[in-house]
Amino acid sequence: MSEFALEITNLKKTYDSDVVALKGINLSVKVGDFFALLGPNGAGKSSTIGIIASLVTKSDGKVKIFDIDTDKDFPKAKRLLGVVSQEINFNNFEKVIDIVTTQAGFYGIPLKDSKLKTEMTLKRLGLWEKRNEQARSLSGGFKRRLMIAKALIHEPKLLILDEPTAGVDIELRREMWEFLKEINAQGTTIILTTHYLEEAEQLCKNIAIIDHGELIENTSMKDLLSRLDVQGFVLDIDNPLDEPPSIPNFPVTLEDSTTLNVVIKKEQSINFLFDQLTAQGINVLSMRNKSNRLEEMFIEMVNKN
């Protein structure tokens, strides 16, 4: 058994329009990992996934799925791979159950077995009650679930999700997170691209960032977060202020008369900040992170690149 679920070597892609999407990416994802592939729009994430899934033809480089070279035996590699595309890619006029059963058939699963597998998968994703409805009548969230059901029907060992929670409400997003955590715990390696950095932070063990077709970071989530130097906090106070309080070494700004923004360095003590505020007669009612920590670092990295 291979150590890696996915190995990408010097992957390049130049489209017919001369747009260079990938400039030679090297990436390895270990078996059992929950891996985030991040990057701004047009960075090359979808091109990378497209090549792995054979929806995009590569210009150069190698892709191995569980040690199977896709140039040598792509069909064998495809049996181990499930892909949830960014855009809806099923016939909206077909019934939910038919879409999933047909997908199973495309993977060579006989009709009798595929009916059983379809029932199990649809039940698992909360779609069984909607099995006889046309796909077009489903809500956006259920369409996303259907995409995942299709990708899981042949029980892949590597699941790639290209922005699976885009446009999905918070409740459903959380449900999906739980589901993905569950199948990852059962042994499925997952690669996720997302614009919600909170999602990556919550779910993923390792992370790679692509920008302008190049890999600018490839590390563990823990390591990445430990590199954060500063964090922004929002403090709600009870008595309105006209101007922000002056606290040595703590830049404080007023968002409005009862809301303060504070930037705290990693080595600074939050206790000291509260002591200073108390000394100035400012009572703090509540405190929260100003924005996602990973988001700050991501923007910094991309801007630097």
Partner 1 sequence: MNRRSEILVSLITLIRKEIKRYLRIWVQTLVPPAVTMSLYFVIFGSLIGPRIGTMDGLDYIQFMIPGLIMMSVITNSYANVVSSFYSVKFQKSIEELLVSPMPNWAILVGFVMGGVSRGVLIGCIVFCVSLFFYPSFTIVNPLLTITVLFLTAILFSLMGFINAIFADSFDDISIIPTFVLTPLIYLGGVFYSINILPDIWRNISMANPMLYVVNTFREGMLGVSDVSIPFALAMIIFFIVTLASTCLFLLHRGVGTRQ
Q: Which residues are near partner 1 by CB under 8 A?
A: 15, 50, 53-57, 74-76, 78-79, 81, 83, 85, 87-92, 102-103, 105-111, 150
Nearer to partner 1, 60 or 169 (CB): 60
The span from the CA of 11 to the CA of 14, in Å, is 10
CA angle at 100 for the pair 70 and 132, rounded to the nearest 5°: 170
SS3 per residue for 147-177? HHHHHHCCCCCEEEEECCCCCCCHHHHHHHH
Nearer to partner 1, 161 or 237 (CB): 161
Shortest reach from residue 217's CB to partner 1, in Å: 26
In this structure, are residues 179 and 125 in contact, taking their beta carbons and an 8 Å threshold?
A: yes
Shortest reach from residue 105's CB to partner 1, in Å: 3
Shortest reach from residue 110's CB to partner 1, in Å: 5
Beta bridge partners of 158: 81, 189
Q: Look-up: residue for tokens 């979808």?
A: 46
Nearer to partner 1, 150 or 293 (CB): 150
Nearer to partner 1, 68 or 262 (CB): 68
Shortest reach from residue 143's CB to partner 1, in Å: 13
Shortest reach from residue 229's CB to partner 1, in Å: 40
Shortest reach from residue 280's CB to partner 1, in Å: 60
Closest alpha carbon to 188 in 162, 156, 161, 165: 156
Nearer to partner 1, 103 or 194 (CB): 103
Q: In what order do the strands lie in the sheet with 20-30?
A: 20-30, 4-14, 60-65, 68-69
Q: Look-up: residue for tokens 């029980």?
A: 155
